[in-house]
Structure 1
């Protein structure tokens, strides 16, 4: 899942991005309101974490524009703010925010609130992905094949999640690198191919049979083939 974090405190941005990335999310960041609004309107996000007091354009205005647009009308938004007055919290919720968390906060609480919003969101994706005997629980971050537990690294789990969510769709190496590694793909690196090879080996340990297939000159696809 892809999140947008709009926060003008650089150290807070870095801390939250690292923690959310380790929790399995792909995170884009913006350090000012103008950039945050542009990203929120131009990109598809599963959830937006939004500070209220921002340089250029404040969080209230960003949310107002977002709710008026077709692309961001249903995107869950969680406000972060040092403004803890009841009137501020009510104002944020009335504008269309889904939650409001007052600074300072514990990262564990932020993560729990994000997961709660994603579970109940109107456009929520499935929590459990299944292809034949391969089963992946997104929230529990567990994967099994033929009921045998797969021991995946965080990156391998994210890679498998992407492939399974886009079942039957050929994903290019550049798109996989962008979604899983949050980086631009360099044709001179084989990071995607190496990761796919390791993931295939782990998936096929309990049960033989390929579910991830290479498509020559195009990329990779996850699907059951007869």
Structure 2
């Protein structure tokens, strides 16, 4: 399950993110509302956790945008505000739950699990492009019957490309799904990992699947 967690307090964000990952979730964490919107524009999430008091765009503004865009991703609002009016406003905007800070991690985890149980939708278990397959349950990647070992970053990039097979995926989108926004040092990381990925996915085989669209990004398809 993939979670987007938006919280401007670095200490709270770091600790909570680490505990969620330890409990088996895939987590993208971000420090403000604008970055949260960038993530939501480029990647599907099973759940979003939004702190209300964030810079650039607050959590309620992100929630409002999310619902106006007709995205039904479950949302937990996380805030120090505890008045009935604040809760009603957030729920009226389309929040699924409302957790007051300071919060118990165990309570947050219980709320997350409850929402995910209610909103669970079967996802496509296997992705296929030509003779390349990716099993999202076992994380196994195979081509022409050969198993291909990928690093976590390579796997994330390939999965996203295959989810959007035939569509041009921008470098920015790949940066967002493979790199946490807290890391600001990636200037050519996507180019480097794309070379790694091609060596494993394309170089040993006659038919090439990953193609560069100059000035835009990459596309995976059978030509």
TM range (shorter): 0.5 to 0.7
Matched residue, 1:29: 31
* CA 1:14–1:135: 2 relative to 1, 3 Å: same
Aligned counterparts of 1:5 and 1:127: Cα–Cα separation in 2: 24
* CA 1:49–1:142: 2 relative to 1, 3 Å: farther
On the 8 A contact 1:24/1:154 being kept in 2, the answer is no
> What are the superposed Cα offsets for residues 157-189 of structure 1, whole Å, 9 maximum, x if unpaired?
111012112211223334422332245797xx4
**Offset at 1:115?**
6.6
* CA 1:118–1:142: 2 relative to 1, 3 Å: farther
**Offset at 1:129?**
1.7
* CA 1:191–1:43: 2 relative to 1, 3 Å: closer
Aligned counterparts of 2:146 and 2:162: Cα–Cα separation in 1: 18
Matched residue, 1:104: 104
Matched residue, 1:190: 188
**Offset at 1:156?**
0.6
Aligned counterparts of 1:64 and 1:192: Cα–Cα separation in 2: 27
1:16 aligns with 2:16: yes
TM-score, normalised via structure 1 length: 0.62
Single out whichever of 160-169 and 42-51 deviates more from structure 2: 42-51
Q: Specify the SS of the correspondent of 2:169.
A: coil
Aligned counterparts of 1:111 and 1:146: Cα–Cα separation in 2: 39
* CA 1:125–1:198: 2 relative to 1, 3 Å: same
Matched residue, 1:172: 170
> What are the superposed Cα offsets for residues 19-64 of structure 1, whole Å, 9 maximum, x if unpaired?
667954443333xxxx48x956995363311358x589997xx399
TM-score, normalised via structure 2 length: 0.63
Aligned length: 209
